[in-house]
């Protein structure tokens, strides 16, 4: 029996295909003790496994994850392409900022890709260009094609995907699947074939896999589209706004939360246009949302 190390590239019906460090693809299963410990191997996991020549192997250990997502169930993501519609549905800076905060808290690098830009008037496109500049100045990669899937924008995105493991995510109807199919034209056919093969059985099983896209890897399924939960304390929220965090170090008070404190460098930067007003407004909304969820222990329900 030989022991290998590699990364899971495919999960299907209890099997895990692992690409070894020396470039071999090995089919494995998880040992029963993973279930007992409440652990499930995920696509993207780096694992140690045993395998006999020509036979199925068994996963022995899962390396510590840098991050993970629930939808799709994948781990160790380098970056997320945030597919952001500007029409149908209309652009929402609140949703985009929620997504950015969520990704920042998970240590996943965002790339903002605007879609449906060909539905804008010239004035609306000019306004969107100002928004794009604001997010670039905030420290984010932004792709703003004049037509949603223009070749030059896809080429620009491809260079960002090289040597990374990426996931595509965004609001329902934003064009996530369409973007994936532009990047990997054969994907739609492959997905249909898998779906038809699985639907013949009584139990439909979801396949999750890493697809080669140029010199990079992309999860074959779009990511989650709802971002409701902020898991950080309100006082730490500013750490996940790159622009606010950059100016926060110049505030007069070390514990400044950039709301009512005097000599706040963040509020001054908003006034001077160095931080987008919409970003600051969303920061305040998210702060209040987190504070509003805090349990209050000194109040009792009068019904009891």
Q: Is residue 171 a known part of a binding site?
A: yes
Classify 296 in phi/psi space as left (phi over 0), alpha (psi -120 to 50) or beta: beta
- Please list the alpha-helical segments (H only) found in the chain: 32-36, 93-106, 122-137, 151-161, 176-183, 187-199, 242-248, 265-271, 277-292
Q: Is residue 226 a known part of a binding site?
A: no
The answer to whether the CB of 119 falls within 8 A of the CB of 175 is no
Q: Is residue 158 a known part of a binding site?
A: no
Phi–psi pair at 240, nearest 5 degrees: -100, 10
The answer to whether the CB of 147 falls within 8 A of the CB of 250 is no
Buried b (16+ CB within 10 A) or exposed e, 167-199: bbbbbeebbbeebbbbbbeebeeebeebeeeee
Q: Is residue 53 a known part of a binding site?
A: no
Q: Is residue 87 a known part of a binding site?
A: no
Q: Is residue 178 a known part of a binding site?
A: yes
Q: Is residue 255 a known part of a binding site?
A: no
**Cα 200 to Cα 39, 203, 207, distances in angstroms:** 29, 8, 15
Measure CA 8 to chain center.
19
The answer to whether the CB of 79 falls within 8 A of the CB of 40 is no
Q: Is residue 115 a known part of a binding site?
A: yes
**Cα 261 to Cα 120, 156, 236, 255, 283, distances in angstroms:** 40, 42, 16, 10, 15
The answer to whether the CB of 111 falls within 8 A of the CB of 81 is yes
Q: At what angle do helices 176-183 and 151-161 cross, to 10 degrees?
A: 80
Q: Is residue 177 a known part of a binding site?
A: yes
Q: Is residue 176 a known part of a binding site?
A: yes
Closest to 133 in 3D by CA, of 122, 142, 121 = 142
Q: Is residue 118 a known part of a binding site?
A: yes
Q: Is residue 121 a known part of a binding site?
A: no
Annotated binding site for GTP: 115-118, 170-178
Annotated binding site: 115-118, 170-178, 251, 256, 258, 264
Annotated binding site for Zn(2+): 251, 256, 258, 264
């Amino acid at each position: 029996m030989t022991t290998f190390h590699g990364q899971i590239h495919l999960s299907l019906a209890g099997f895990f295909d692992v690409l070894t460090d020396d470039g071999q693809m090995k089919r494995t299963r998880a040992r029963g003790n993973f279930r007992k410990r409440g652990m499930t191997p995920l696509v993207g996991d780096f694992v140690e496994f045993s395998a006999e020549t020509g036979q199925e192997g068994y996963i022995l250990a899962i390396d510590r994850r840098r991050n993970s997502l629930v939808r799709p169930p994948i781990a160790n993501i380098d970056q997320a392409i945030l597919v952001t519609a500007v029409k149908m549905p209309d652009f929402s800076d609140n949703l985009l900022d929620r997504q950015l905060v969520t990704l920042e808290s998970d240590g996943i690098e965002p790339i903002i890709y605007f879609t449906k830009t060909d539905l804008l008037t010239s004035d609306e496109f000019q306004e969107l260009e100002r928004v794009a500049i604001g997010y670039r100045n905030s420290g984010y990669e932004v792709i703003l094609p004049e037509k949603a899937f223009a070749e030059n924008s896809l080429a620009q995105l491809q260079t960002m995907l090289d040597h990374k493991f990426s996931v595509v995510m965004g609001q329902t109807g934003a064009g996530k699947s369409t973007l994936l199919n532009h990047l990997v034209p054969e994907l739609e056919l492959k997905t249909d074939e898998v779906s038809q093969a699985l639907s013949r059985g009584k139990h439909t099983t979801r396949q999750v896999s890493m697809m080669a896209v140029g010199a990079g890897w992309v999860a074959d399924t779009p990511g989650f589209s709802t971002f409701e939960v902020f898991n950080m304390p309100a006082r730490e929220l500013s750490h996940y706004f790159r622009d606010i965090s950059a100016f926060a170090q110049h505030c007069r008070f070390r514990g400044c939360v950039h709301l009512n404190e005097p000599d706040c460098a963040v509020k001054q930067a908003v006034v001077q246009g160095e931080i987008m007003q919409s970003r600051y407004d969303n920061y305040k909304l998210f702060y209040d949302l987190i504070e509003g969820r805090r349990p209050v222990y000194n109040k009792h329900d009068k019904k009891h």
